[in-house]
Structure 1
Amino acid sequence: MKKFEEKTIQTETIYDGKVVKLQVDEVMLPDGNTSKRELIKHPGAVGVIPITPEQKIIFVEQYRKPLEKPLVEIPAGKLEDGEKPEVTARRELEEETGYTAGPLEFVTSFYTSPGFADELMYLYIADGLEPVKDPAIGDDDEFIELLELTLEEAKQYVQNNRIHDAKTNYAILYLETLEMCVQKGG
């Protein structure tokens, strides 16, 4: 057995829903003891950083039930079965903002909550935005409002906890780092 590997002995599916699956795994630990792991299985997701020609970032504000409050976030959504992340990014951009973009620039991918979930999120930048004549309709239960913020305004939203999720904070940090590199000439 590898140094930190936990070998799955048994898996019990507790819930298999539209977005996630909850399972409890019994595992053998590296020292030979056993333990239980509660796991969320997720198909993966994308986040999109839409940049307007005026160099503003388009955000969506929506109510997040687990938090019992609205958050301002970058457009994002889950991968559908067999869908490539870039296709999901384009779909979510259109559904949530009514825009399409030129070539998307892949930024990175990251695990959102590796302590209990396997969700892998892909992050893209979208510029060259153009309004879609007849945009795709989003989810029936999704109510969102668009905001266009400068990077400085977005950083203020972070300080005020209006932007308070990892993917959006990561996006803002990435843009801030990019801006600093441009200012330093590299």
Structure 2
Amino acid sequence: MSKGSDDHLVEHRTGGGALLSGGFLEVHRDNIRLPDGQPATREYIRHPGAVAVLPILDDGRLVLVRQFRYPVGRVLLECPAGKLDPGETTLDCARRELAEETGYTAREWAFAGEIHNAAAYSSESIWLWFARGLEPGPQRLDTGEFVEVVTLDATELDALAGRGELPDVKTLWGLLWLQRWRAGAWPLTWAGAGEHGSL
């Protein structure tokens, strides 16, 4: 789809600023000018970005994690993920989070893409990486982090999604990309960690 000029849709900031600055999130309220010239406000969260990893074992099973997510008050099944540290590439973040949350390291990596998981109120991007050639090791969880590692095959994960039991958007996205890649429809280019440049 060719987007052409988007000028008739673009909103322009005219003022405003941070309402709250936390440990790594900031809540902002900006004054804006709508495309028709009328004023409005936008409240949103500034987020440094995050990475998600879909690790694939040699037998095809996927390495996932279960953890309690306080804002929604429930334990979710997810692919390993975490926020970007300042100056960190998305691949370095993916390698770090995979090792910390699951203990696994990977010989090969493939970049899938980027999503905006809550674009109406957050600047967060999530970059999805796939990992294979996995070697097990000990988890290196942060203090106060409680994560259970589980393995499922794609059919089991798909069945959970079909029953509405996989509400985590990054994991659903990873499952979709995996299925489309295995069907030969979506690309993944595999390489060693040092061969991916500065992504």
- TM-score > 0.5, shorter chain as reference: yes
Q: Pick from 76, 79, 82: which aligns with 1:74? A: 79
State the distance in 1 between where 2:60 and 2:169 align.
Answer: 22
Aligned counterpart, 2:126: 121
Aligned counterpart, 2:165: 162
Q: Pick from 104, 113, 116: which aligns with 1:111? A: 116
Q: Pick from 58, 61, 64: which aligns with 2:66? A: 61
What are the ranges of 5 or more consecutive residues in structure 1 without an aligned counterpart? none
Using the size of structure 2 for normalisation, the TM-score is 0.85
What are the ranges of 5 or more consecutive residues in structure 2 without an aligned counterpart? 1-5, 186-199
Q: Pick from 137, 141, 156: which aligns with 1:138? A: 141
Bigger mean CA deviation after superposition, 102-111 or 157-166: 157-166
Q: Note the aligned Cα RMSD (angstroms).
A: 1.6
Aligned residue identity for 1:154 = L
Aligned residue identity for 2:62 = I
Aligned counterpart, 1:172: 175
Aligned residue identity for 2:51 = V
Q: 1:18: Cα distance to partner?
A: 1.7
How many residue pairs match? The answer is: 180
Partner of 1:172, secondary structure, is: helix
State the distance in 1 between where 2:143 and 2:164 align.
Answer: 27
Q: 1:163: Cα distance to partner?
A: 1.8
Using the size of structure 1 for normalisation, the TM-score is 0.91
Q: Pick from 39, 46, 64: which aligns with 2:51? A: 46
Percent of aligned pairs sharing the same letter: 34
